Amino acid sequence: MTEIDPDDDFAPPTPRSRVRLARKLARWGFGFLAVIALVVLVSRWQVGRIGQRQLNAATNRLDADDPNWRLDAILAEREKNEIKGEENAASVVSACAAEIPHEFREWQKSEDANRWWLQTIDNHLPPPDAITSAETVEQVTLIVRTKALALRDKRAGAFPLTISSDPIATLLPHLDKARQVASLLQYDGYLAAARKKNPNRGISSARATLGAARAIGDEPILVSQLVRIACAKVGAQTGMQVLAWSEPTDGLAEFQSELLAEADVPWFQIGMRGERALLDKLFLGLEDGTIPPENAFRYASTSTPGPQHFAAFRMYKALLPGDRAKFLQISTAFVEASKLPPHEQLAAIKRVEIPKGPPDEFRYLVTRLLTPACEKIAEAGLRSRADLLSAATCVACERYRIKNGRWPNDLAELTPAFLPSVPVSPFDGKPITYRVFPDRIAVYCFWANAPFKFETQHTDFQGGEPGTGIGYRVWKPEQRGLPGEEPRDP
């Protein structure tokens, strides 16, 4: 064995020295890790304390400004105002949806149904073959269509609603029922005007479709209000198509009034206020453990979470109070924006800052994950308001024509006998646009620089700048219900 020279500065350490060095490094390593762990724990504790203070401040402000903002209070108020018995439009919708025959559902999927019966409003009838196709389900739907017409006289509704312990897991099967009944009534109205030459029934069908929308009522969930918007739009389209094919005389004033009333429903405000309460309950469940962390992973991804996910959640849990406070701040800003005049809402919504997330920001992960696409939802509400206001104004023009034998020269002629006041566009706050052509009129709201464009944009609805017009046309009686033909270019 080679002797180690003790005077050699570059000689390797003795085995004993190596053991001592290893022990010293181990102590330093463990000490360093302990310091890191302590820093992390203290930081989490401190961040948690700050987050809790932020949460307390946010909830205190909400308690002062809107004492009934929590989910239990919203549901209790909804139950107190619930329409009971036969007056509840929701009970009619549920009963009719259960009776819709499968033959009708199959016909809805056909090319004839989608190509000819659900297109942009036009004064040409569907071709004979398409009408014959629609007649194949006429008899099997007759009884349920007649029952569904009762929705015309139902002023309000509310479906039973049970919120799951995990609010996002709440099931809403009644929304599809409302859609199905609205589609059935649209078919009834179109068939009445196109084949039966019974336009007054067609207007009754349109009014009943609005009743299907009212059946959803003030359900405090954004998707519920989006379905209400969709059903209301079907109601407006049904009535306007009846006017494009025929000359109804009964129920026009009532239909117009119901369109205006539906246009005034604050869909986004109802849904956003409820969404704030629902997701606040979700945050609380994640904090106190009543909602398991795997649910949170399911919101973010379809993959099965592993041990690393649960470890990350345990580390992040201390940040949940601050995350929750941020969500309440953001969602309250959206609720406040919804209270502004319609043409000011989008600008206010765009000013709400959503956390950017990693790598810029590692806080507020749940807020980023769960905050709804409020700008898109608000846009849908504004489009629907424009649609309903335009339809109501067209009906007022038709009522004026029936009485005076001509279209009004301008919308001011309609007030107050045929229209309480000239509606204003939800996009710019200016009076709704009215144009008179040799054989028709056009009423619409023009959305300058709209974030979307219809595939078929009628030139009647174009403005002097880039954008999209949302509205309807009504033809002179001799131009209504013309023989079917291939769809024409706008």
Residues 60-85 pLDDT 10s: 999 999 999 999 999 999 988 888 88
Instruction: Give the model's pLDDT for residue 168.
Output: 87
Pick the closest to residue 190 from 228, 237, 128, 154 (CA basis). Answer: 237
Q: Round to whole Å and give the CA distance between 379 and 338.
A: 11
pLDDT category of residue 39 using cuts at 50, 70 and 90: very low
pLDDT category of residue 387 using cuts at 50, 70 and 90: very high
Q: Which has more pLDDT, 174 or 84?
A: 174
Instruction: Give the model's pLDDT for residue 201.
Output: 96
- Alpha-carbon radius of gyration of the chain: 31
pLDDT digits (tens, 9 = 90+) for 246-291: 999 999 999 999 999 999 999 999 999 999 999 999 999 999 989 8
pLDDT category of residue 432 using cuts at 50, 70 and 90: very high
Q: Would you say the C-alpha torsion 64, 65, 66, 71 has a positive or negative sign?
A: negative
Question: What residues contact 236, with CB distance under 8 A and at least 6 apart?
Answer: 206, 210, 259, 387, 388, 391, 472
Q: Give alpha helix (H) positions in 199-290.
A: 199-214, 222-245, 252-263, 267-288
Distance (Å) of CA 208 to CA 30, 149, 264, 305, 381: 74, 5, 18, 47, 21
Amino acid (one-letter) located at 197: K
Pick the closest to residue 203 from 193, 194, 213 (CA basis). Answer: 193
Pairing of strands 433-436, 440-448: antiparallel
Residue 394 near residue 406 (C-beta atoms within 8 A): no
pTM (two decimals): 0.87
Residue 174 near residue 93 (C-beta atoms within 8 A): yes
Residue 266 near residue 215 (C-beta atoms within 8 A): no
Instruction: Tell me the domain boundaries of the chain.
Output: 75-265+377-479
Instruction: Give the model's pLDDT for residue 407.
Output: 97
Q: Which has more pLDDT, 59 or 458?
A: 59
Instruction: Give the model's pLDDT for residue 16.
Output: 54
Pick the closest to residue 211 from 154, 159, 260 (CA basis). Answer: 154
Joined tokens for residue 186: 């649209």
Pick the closest to residue 467 from 409, 421, 425, 412 (CA basis). Answer: 425
pLDDT category of residue 300 using cuts at 50, 70 and 90: low
Instruction: Give the model's pLDDT for residue 38.
Output: 38
Instruction: Give the model's pLDDT for residue 307.
Output: 75
pLDDT digits (tens, 9 = 90+) for 123-132: 999 888 888 9
* Distance between first and last Cα of the chain: 101
Q: Round to whole Å and give the CA distance between 400 and 406.
A: 7
pLDDT category of residue 415 using cuts at 50, 70 and 90: very high
Q: Give alpha helix (H) positions in 289-359.
A: 293-300, 307-316, 320-338, 342-350
State what percent of residues in the chain have pLDDT above 90: 64
* Model confidence at 243: pLDDT above 60: yes
Q: How many CB atoms lie within 10 A of CB 169?
A: 12
Q: Long-range pairs for 340-348 at CB < 8 Å and ≥24 separation?
A: 341/429, 342/382, 342/385, 342/426, 342/429, 343/424, 343/425, 343/426, 343/427, 343/428, 343/429, 344/429, 345/268, 345/378, 345/382, 346/375, 346/378, 346/379, 346/382
Across 301-314, average pLDDT = 72
Joined tokens for residue 57: 């401040």
* Model confidence at 406: pLDDT above 80: yes
Pick the closest to residue 51 from 313, 325, 288 (CA basis). Answer: 325
Q: Round to whole Å and give the CA distance between 440 and 473.
A: 7
